[in-house]
A = this chain, B = another copy of it.
Amino acid sequence: MAEDKKQVEAITSMSEDFAQWYTDIVLKAELVDYSSVKGCLVIKPAGYAIWELIQKQLDERFKETGVENVYMPMFIPESLLEKEKDHVEGFAPEVAWVTQGGLEPLQERLVVRPTSETLFCDLYANIVHSYRDLPKVYNQWCSVVRWEKTTRPFLRSREFLWQEGHTAHATAEEAEERTKQMLNLYAQFCEEVLAIPMVKGRKTDKEKFAGAEATYTIEALMHDGKALQSGTSHNFGDGFARAFNIQYTDKDNKLSYVYQTSWGMTTRLIGAVIMVHGDDNGLKLPPRVAPFQTVIIPIMQNKPGVLDKANELAAALKAKGIRVKVDDTDKRPGFKFSEQEMRGFPTRIEIGPKDIEAGTCIVARRDTGEKITVSLSEIETKLPEILDDIQKNMLETARKHRDAHTFSATNYEEFVDAINNKPGFVKAMWCGNVECENKIKDDTTATSRCMPFEQEKISDVCVCCGKPAKALVYWGKAY
């Protein structure tokens, strides 16, 4: 029983040490493992299955908007990376360099892609000639490498999985529309699938992507009150097009540069799911990304008929499209309950001889702890309803938590106090100058998360310098 026990050993309490709680969960729920490759992690089956569910549902939404998937090389020649000045300055300090191929040193060093703007630009320069070739709305699912100094599973690692969309358009308006469309798609996906409410907004110039004209972001609030940038969408204008000479002939036979966007979400979303929904009993997965939506736990499984009934029930639920497993191992039921809770599966079904005799089973909800007696003749229709309700309830709970941890400040004293003593977002007005962002960061470690699309005017002046305010900003300490 030694290895079984490992899995439901006490998890560090969130309130005691949030960082340790997080690490306990990712390891004990077997989402990841550390590897012998410094800064890189192994994503284990329980973690990768969540990623597969994210991929599938996000990819379907992409394709509905006309996205086509491609695969680009993982290497970028140094000369290609250098073509766009801001971009190379942003990424060069944190890339991995391939300098030897086979037995020979390379004539030109290659970067392992940290992102693929330059490769897509190079492709578009080759294949876009006429307005008929536009728009190009390509995406790829792949891994990228950034030579980070610290490692936190799903949140920060030298290699991570993501999707990166790269588009080219005939007009600036169309590019702006696509940039916003994808940000809205991301936010909707996070709310509907991951049950995480997002603040949508624009990054300040200080925080925008290297080479972008504008970066839009979705920001989520974790249980400890820290912010997590969860997806970004960039409008490049024609900056990259000019650097890479991507021109097309328009309907009037005139040469024009294309306008471009890029947008990405990563395995970081799994970190968000853990830190928004989890509790001291472990992981808590929204039904739509739960590899198993219910675990059937037979009680007194050695009694004749119990296991048969459990398997029969599993088959019926599976036929309804529910992801289900039967835990028929020889562990004690109580142990199995703790394990299902720790692994975050949204429901368990308890079924034993007495239940079978009564024609019922017990459904236990992971989100509320509630136990519901359901007739076996109705379980196939009731369980999907319960799962829907869990999905909704988890979003509501997260939204309430987020709203209860969003504060406002109209002077600097209030602001610093809120940032330091009230974990959460702090809304405050800003003058638009990077000096104030820098001062706030120096004083509090907080950063501007975004200028939300839904602007309010809570004061006339910048919370930091007192000069006239240009925008409301969400501030917070961030992962």
Q: Can you give 26 A-B contacts (C-beta < 8 A)?
A: A3-B130, A33-B126, A33-B127, A35-B73, A35-B119, A36-B80, A36-B119, A37-B119, A40-B73, A40-B74, A41-B73, A42-B123, A43-B71, A48-B69, A49-B69, A71-B161, A73-B159, A74-B74, A74-B112, A74-B159, A95-B101, A96-B101, A96-B102, A98-B99, A99-B100, A112-B112
Alpha-carbon distance A382/B32, docked complex (angstroms):
49
Cβ-based interface call for A414 (8 A): no
Report the Cα distance A76→B99, complex, angstroms: 15
Rounded to whole angstroms, the CA-CA distance of A422 and B390 in the bound complex is 66
- Other contacts beyond A97-B101, A101-B158: 8, CB < 8 A: A35-B122, A36-B77, A37-B73, A43-B71, A45-B70, A74-B159, A93-B103, A96-B102
Find A33's partner among B42, B110, B123 (CB 8 Å cutoff): B123
By the criterion CB–CB under 8 Å, are B75 and A37 in contact? Answer: yes
A72 on the B face (CB < 8 A): yes
Does residue A129 face the partner (Cβ distance < 8 Å to B)?
yes
Instruction: Let me know if A3 and B132 touch, CB within 8 A.
Output: yes
Residues of the B chain whose Cβ atoms lie less than 8 Å from the Cβ of A43? 70-71
Interchain CA distance A102-B147 in the complex, whole Å: 6
For A158, the chain B residues whose CB sits under 8 A away are: 101
* A28 CB to nearest B CB, Å: 13
Q: What number of A residues sit within 8 Å (CB to CB) of B? A: 57
Chain B residues positioned under 8 Å from A69 (CB to CB) = 45, 48-49, 52
With both chains docked as a complex, state the minimum distance between the C-beta of A179 and any C-beta of chain B, in angstroms. Answer: 21
CB of A267, distance to nearest CB on chain B (Å): 9
Collect the chain B residues with CB atoms within 8 Å of residue A35's CB: 72-73, 119, 122-123
A96–B75 Cα distance when bound, in Å, is 11
A129 and B143 CA atoms in complex are apart in Å by: 30
Query: Would you call A94 an interface residue if the criterion is a C-beta within 8 Å of the partner chain's C-beta atoms?
Result: yes
A116-142 contact mask (Cβ, 8 Å, vs B): 1 or 0: 000100110011011011000010001
